[in-house]
Structure 1
């Protein structure tokens, strides 16, 4: 009788694979399950094999990010809300750095690419709302602004996750980067800084 998938075993294998990947360890079925209490068959039971495991590792990173972004409450301040999404992104990366690295390893496919795309769409929608509410210039392109905001934040977070920069620089540098991008897009500097700082203080 085939074993039924166990969510706890699945999570354990995904997190272990992400740690091994981040540590540049060679990942084999035997090494992956060693010390976990699971058999090598568990990889086939849960993922259909190693390619499925790598897809699941990437997907888990985006699944956790989506949950973190979904927890960001909408307020009356759209610039605060856009900054709060950046805070949630950073906190998600710091809480699970191995999964964060695996999320952007394009050598493995995603099981649900649309779900991953939806996390970025949250930024686009927030930027559009800030424009439509009059905080940003009427001609602001939400997709272009969200791309710049994500690229800058991702670069900074990646440097912290990889140990190139100390964690203490994350908040002040993220605040300055967000303020620079959003004031360039038309927001009032003082009002923008207050919104962004409030988001990081709450985060």
Structure 2
């Protein structure tokens, strides 16, 4: 008879594996469940083995990021919304630092590559709306602008989450995004207002 799967156990194993990877602890079947009430069979029950475990660990970071993006309210201001999506990216990294460090480790496959790619689409849609609304020039490619916005957020939060910068350094994102968006055609004054409205961090500024 197949063992039933417990979502809480799955989450515990994923988070524990991510933490062990970040702290460079050797991750084996036995070390993963050591000190917990679980047996090694739990890894097979929930993931089919260690290979499935690694895929799930990477995927979980993108799953939580997607949930964070989905929680961003869409307004009539696409520049504010694109900024808010960058902030959601930062928040996901700060709330789940262990998973964040594993998300982009290409040594492990993803369970669902399309689902991971879909997270960027949230930013692409906001950038596209900005171009349609006349905030960005017609020659601006939404995918390019979304990627550049993502790169700003990724660079900043990586330096904060892994050191050496303090959380306050995240606020450098405001002038960086203003520079990016005005370079894409947005009016400086309107852009600043939009970015400042969208820039609401849990730990900085």
TM beyond 0.5? yes
Matched, 1:199 2:198: yes
Post-superposition Cα deviations, 1:120-153, rounded to whole Å, max 9, x if no partner, equal 0111111111011000111111111111111121
Q: What CA deviation, in whole Å up to 9, does each residue of 1:6-52 have, x standing for no partner?
A: 11111000000000111111101111101121100111111011110
* Cα distance between partner residues in 2 of 1:10 and 1:51: 14
Q: How many residues align?
A: 202
1:202 Cα offset (Å): 7.5
Q: 1:101 to 1:187 in 2, by over 3 A?
A: same
Instruction: Report the TM-score, using the length of structure 1 for normalisation.
Output: 0.97
Query: Secondary structure in 2 aligned to 1:201?
Result: coil
The answer for the alignment partner of 1:38 in structure 2 is: 38
> C-alpha distance in 2, partners of 1:194/1:62?
30
User: How do 1:118-133 and structure 2 match up within 5 A?
Assistant: 118-133=118-133
Question: Is 1:55 aligned to residue 64 of structure 2?
Answer: no
SS in 1 for 2:200: helix
Q: Following TM superposition, by how much is the alpha carbon of 1:2 offset from its aligned partner in structure 2, in angstroms? A: 3.1
Give the equivalent residue in structure 2 for 1:115.
Answer: 115
Change (3 A) 1:73 1:202: farther
- Unpaired segments of 5 or more residues in structure 1? none
2:27 alignment partner, SS class: coil
So what's the TM-score if we normalise by structure 2? 0.96
Q: Deviations over 1:167-190 (max 9, x none)?
A: 1111x2111111111010000111
Q: Deviations over 1:73-101 (max 9, x none)?
A: 11011100000000111011100000011
RMSD: 1.1
